[in-house]
Structure 1
């Protein structure tokens, strides 16, 4: 398999049910760019940069455009009517007084920028010159709710309008749920407590539900479905939502639908399923799958899911749509160990690559991974696991790495690796790679052991102190994860430094490639730059690969040519160091 072959897949997203049937979007890489096709009842109707299809009052609606987003309306055989354009449109829904839209206004990025806030830029968005606002379109576009915060979701039953927004504590991304008066823009808080809100929904009766957590700044907290006006909440599996990682480019986001019951996703271990939620949670899908998105309308349910061997499958009634029927994939096997892990074994004499996920409060599981299949098809053994810190195993397990990055989580990873070597009698050399927190762990592990003959860290972390002042979330996230009160005092800095790979760089002997996007604001490129320079100054073999304009998402939905180049470079690095006899 070549890197180009690895990315020659189609992925499904934006499933939408209506009175006319089923609509969905398929996306592929074509001519070095992402190309989407909108299908209605299995018939292709629109192509291009298309997303968020909907059907309302006899019109088809969708968002179109690449750098600028346009909301389009058209009859089945009519011409496109361009209703409005914004810098971004993340959601829209229909109210009796107009179309409610979540989006950002267009900006002039050439003018000077000033701020007094700690959160003044954000990964994949850049400097926060504009914020995501709630607009209403009733022939003309006007703002309903806006400010130096983000409106993050909106739902309506045609009368009542409910949003989530980071009004109370935008620096830390703390959100609440509010009712909006569409005539005046006045808001009234519905939710209580402090935490995050991932999605909101209103049913036909005007009852409200939201998905999130009320445990404050706790990235490890399990999400629940809250019914704020009824004073109750329900959990789905081990956490509501889907934290199982994949590198397919479907661009899904968490959502909920509230009919008589709430429909949502829930995760348990490496599986993610659909749930019905009212007084308790009932799982309504089964198998070793990761459900990515869904829709519910008038008693009918459609959803799309991924498996380790199938990128994207759409399920509606008794029918399945697989846009990748000819794909050849390798099936991973479960590794019997005290943490959940998997292996794709080519042979016991082949070199092995250990993958470490990001987060740290994310997880690997039963979803397709382009990179896993690519390396397995090229003769490598691929192994991966969910150490302490991963979501899907309960809150205590997810909190297991807090204050101890590189401690028990590293031990879980190394124990798993040795277990796989023993079980499968592996004789070849071993490499290690990971991104974000997985990049931190890659950088860290090679300061602790010479078990690995080569390493590649991506969008990684090397210095938790400098990251506090350069990352979009580092000023609070690093302190929370390190278990300290203040990252700016002597004690806080000392702990952050001792938890940083750069502090132990003199121990490194393993050849390391560092891959980074130059516009990564989550783990800024200075993290790779300083580790690279330290290694080269110590005489360690190292290479720094930089991708112009790329964000923290460069490996999941970056520029297609760069993603192909990235796989090629990783293959060359691991082939050079893991197949050589020296």
Structure 2
């Protein structure tokens, strides 16, 4: 038998990501998006594929080229699809007939068009675009002045920058509509506010829209759901004005609306719940007030591109639905009923990151990943739980390469809390030998390591490292009390949880060399990496990524800085003592561990000045450190950044640990 190859950072170029399954209303076929990397152009390529659910057949590729073609959505009659493509430069909507032929460009809007939603009769499509307050959706591209001008940025609001989109350019998120036959455009929203298109009612009467319409946006963090009546342009708010709601779906008869959201009881640490709005009675009800699990997909990874998480997907009886929930390192397909009954339809040690039913609760197409499966689509029988694989987008790669084995671990913290995580053995593991260990810490902190593929972990294991990753308190997946426990306590019990995990591994796995321990993490995981090496010298090497080192300077500099500190540390600039006490920079003189610092130049979530301060403070004290600045990179470098830089990042991490941990 031919020996399998180890996984390397560069294998990102060979792997495909499959996401966003969309089953048609007949249940006979499914569209999905496959994304790969063009090494020559250092860009991502996405194309749309079709797979029959009725018969054994090969997948059919419906779009081609080296552009990003994504977000396919079936017309109500299943004869056409609309999708988003950047093939003309900006993202625009295109129409493609199911029977084949060339795609027809539907929009040519100066700022692009995304998020298409069909009208129930198939005559119109609503969409998302961005407009300045003086712009109209009917502006022609030819009339736009593209002359480059350097102008000052006038800032009057606190929310003037975003890690995702950079400095605010004066444009708001708005919703438009286009008549497919005539091309006539209509503005649904206008003004100085952002609106998010949700869904269209089955009778065509309403469009559901979410927005924060509070006057003081700087201090408002809500999202309400509105029903926009198409004929009259009348708006009706159906949520309370104090929570965060979205993912709006309609029952087949249009009498009920499903929502996912919460009332911000624990700020951004609050579990999302299921809600149902009765359209006739005008009554909103929470279906899961006492269900101690989070609705949605909270798994964190570094591989999938363009994941779409659905809301409640209703069945034919207008009372039942399916949805995704996160629990103990898995994402699970749950069946629910408006009476409040909930039970799992698909539960296993896996990450379900996509779900589509086409309107029937007999079958569903799910996207699944595991530590040894980068991701594929499966047909799920919702009645029996049986699954059948539909795609095999990395067949040859999986056949030729060896994936590291992963073992789940369960243990108690020193104060009696149940903790959960995983230990990945190095490739080529041999009993009786000892190996270095790398400890990985996730960001958030409100996220969840899961039974999913992680390219970084596999690359480390391929280089001879065991990899430990756990969900300390603050993580999703283990109850509301657990996720809230980190707020106001950064660097205390969360730190102890992580160190308890290291102690547990050393006590129970004799192949780990306690003299060769490494630690790394990004964002909150970077903060914790900095904190750990300032409080213990147990680690022989560390890599901190897009980290926080100084909560005082973080305040107001990060795009979330002026409120995140209040929510998470429960302190602001009126309490600098607390901010400094929780800052790793305050303990920099105690750091002896060789530290590699990785940071993106354009990171507005954890600005690069956080890394600069730490680097200079360490160098001034003659400590061993190196600082790598990644150009054109924001906070998402490791997940959706420029492919070549993602690979450079992985190699820097591996090489640093090889330099300091591979020497006995």
TM-score where L is the length of structure 1:
0.94
- Deviation sequence 1:187-217 (CA, Å, 0-9, x none): 2210125222241112233221211111256
Task: Tell me the residue number matched to 2:141.
Answer: none
Q: Aligned to 1:219, what secondary structure does the other structure show?
A: helix
Q: Structure 1's 149 and 291: CA in aligned 2 closer, same or farther, altered over 3 A? A: farther
- How far did 1:555 drift? 0.2
Q: Distance in 2 between matches of 1:70 and 1:371?
A: 34
Task: Tell me the residue number matched to 1:92.
Answer: 116
Alignment of 1:461-480 (within 5 A): 461-480=548-567
Contact 1:237/1:266 (<8 A) preserved: no
Contact 1:132/1:146 (<8 A) preserved: no
- How far did 1:12 drift? 0.9
Structure 2: gaps (5+ residues): 1-6, 52-58, 133-143, 381-386, 413-418
380-389 or 207-216: which moved more?
207-216
Match of 1:416 among 488, 496, 501: 501
Contact 1:7/1:370 (<8 A) preserved: no
Alignment of 1:334-413 (within 5 A): 334-338=408-412, 339-346=419-426, 347=429, 349-413=434-498
Contact 1:192/1:228 (<8 A) preserved: no
- How far did 1:304 drift? 0.5
Task: Tell me the residue number matched to 2:70.
Answer: 51
- How far did 1:153 drift? 4.1
Q: Distance in 2 between matches of 1:375 and 1:88?
A: 40
Report which of the two structures shows the higher radius of gyration computed on alpha carbons.
2
Q: Distance in 2 between matches of 1:249 and 1:515?
A: 22
Contact 1:153/1:200 (<8 A) preserved: no
Task: Tell me the residue number matched to 1:290.
Answer: 351
Q: Aligned to 2:525, what secondary structure does the other structure show?
A: helix
- Deviation sequence 1:506-530 (CA, Å, 0-9, x none): 1111111111111111111111111
Contact 2:309/2:355 (<8 A) preserved: no
Task: Tell me the residue number matched to 1:218.
Answer: 267
Q: Distance in 2 between matches of 1:147 and 1:497?
A: 41
Task: Tell me the residue number matched to 2:519.
Answer: 432
Q: Distance in 2 between matches of 1:356 and 1:437?
A: 8
Q: Distance in 1 between matches of 2:235 and 2:439?
A: 49
Task: Tell me the residue number matched to 1:239.
Answer: 294
Q: Distance in 2 between matches of 1:268 and 1:298?
A: 25
Q: Distance in 2 between matches of 1:372 and 1:228?
A: 43
Q: Aligned to 1:284, what secondary structure does the other structure show?
A: strand
Q: Aligned to 1:382, what secondary structure does the other structure show?
A: strand
Alignment of 1:112-261 (within 5 A): 112-129=152-169, 130-138=171-179, 139-157=183-201, 158-168=204-214, 170-171=217-218, 172-183=220-231, 185-206=233-254, 207-216=256-265, 218-229=267-278, 230-235=283-288, 238-256=293-311, 257-259=313-315, 260=318, 261=320
497-506 or 190-199: which moved more?
190-199
Q: Distance in 1 between matches of 2:612 and 2:349?
A: 40
Q: Distance in 2 between matches of 1:163 and 1:524?
A: 32
494-503 or 322-331: which moved more?
322-331
Q: Distance in 2 between matches of 1:475 and 1:265?
A: 32
Q: Structure 1's 217 and 388: CA in aligned 2 closer, same or farther, altered over 3 A? A: closer
Task: Tell me the residue number matched to 1:17.
Answer: 23
Q: Aligned to 2:535, what secondary structure does the other structure show?
A: coil
Q: Distance in 1 between matches of 2:619 and 2:657?
A: 19
- How far did 1:377 drift? 1.2
Q: Distance in 1 between matches of 2:359 and 2:284?
A: 27
- How far did 1:249 drift? 2.9
Match of 1:540 among 603, 623, 629: 623
Q: What is the aligned residue count? A: 577
Task: Tell me the residue number matched to 2:136.
Answer: none
- Deviation sequence 1:107-158 (CA, Å, 0-9, x none): 9785432231111111111122222222111223333124444323411123
- The alignment yields a C-alpha RMSD, in angstroms, of 2.1
295-304 or 169-178: which moved more?
169-178
Q: Aligned to 2:210, what secondary structure does the other structure show?
A: strand
Q: Distance in 2 between matches of 1:88 and 1:401?
A: 41
Q: Aligned to 1:351, what secondary structure does the other structure show?
A: strand
- How far did 1:253 drift? 3.5
Q: Structure 1's 263 and 150: CA in aligned 2 closer, same or farther, altered over 3 A? A: farther
Q: Aligned to 1:174, what secondary structure does the other structure show?
A: coil
Q: Distance in 2 between matches of 1:287 and 1:6?
A: 26
Match of 2:584 among 485, 490, 501: 501
Q: Distance in 2 between matches of 1:407 and 1:7?
A: 40
Contact 2:223/2:241 (<8 A) preserved: no
Match of 1:517 among 567, 579, 600: 600
Q: Structure 1's 293 and 85: CA in aligned 2 closer, same or farther, altered over 3 A? A: farther
Q: Structure 1's 198 and 179: CA in aligned 2 closer, same or farther, altered over 3 A? A: closer
Structure 1: gaps (5+ residues): none
- Deviation sequence 1:196-250 (CA, Å, 0-9, x none): 2241112233221211111256111111011144432234661100111111132
44-53 or 409-418: which moved more?
44-53
Contact 1:344/1:382 (<8 A) preserved: yes
Q: Distance in 2 between matches of 1:512 and 1:198?
A: 41
5-14 or 241-250: which moved more?
5-14
Contact 1:165/1:175 (<8 A) preserved: yes
Q: Aligned to 2:373, what secondary structure does the other structure show?
A: coil
Contact 2:222/2:241 (<8 A) preserved: no
Task: Tell me the residue number matched to 1:72.
Answer: 94
TM-score where L is the length of structure 2:
0.83
Q: Aligned to 1:443, what secondary structure does the other structure show?
A: helix
Q: Distance in 1 between matches of 2:482 and 2:265?
A: 18
Contact 1:134/1:144 (<8 A) preserved: yes
Alignment of 1:487-498 (within 5 A): 487-489=572-574, 492-498=575-581
Q: Aligned to 1:561, what secondary structure does the other structure show?
A: helix
- Deviation sequence 1:281-340 (CA, Å, 0-9, x none): 222112111110111214242110111110112012553123223423112101231200
154-163 or 529-538: which moved more?
154-163
Task: Tell me the residue number matched to 1:319.
Answer: 388
Match of 1:530 among 609, 613, 629: 613
Q: Distance in 2 between matches of 1:146 and 1:429?
A: 59
Contact 2:314/2:359 (<8 A) preserved: no
Q: Aligned to 1:231, what secondary structure does the other structure show?
A: strand
Contact 1:518/1:550 (<8 A) preserved: yes
Q: Structure 1's 222 and 414: CA in aligned 2 closer, same or farther, altered over 3 A? A: same
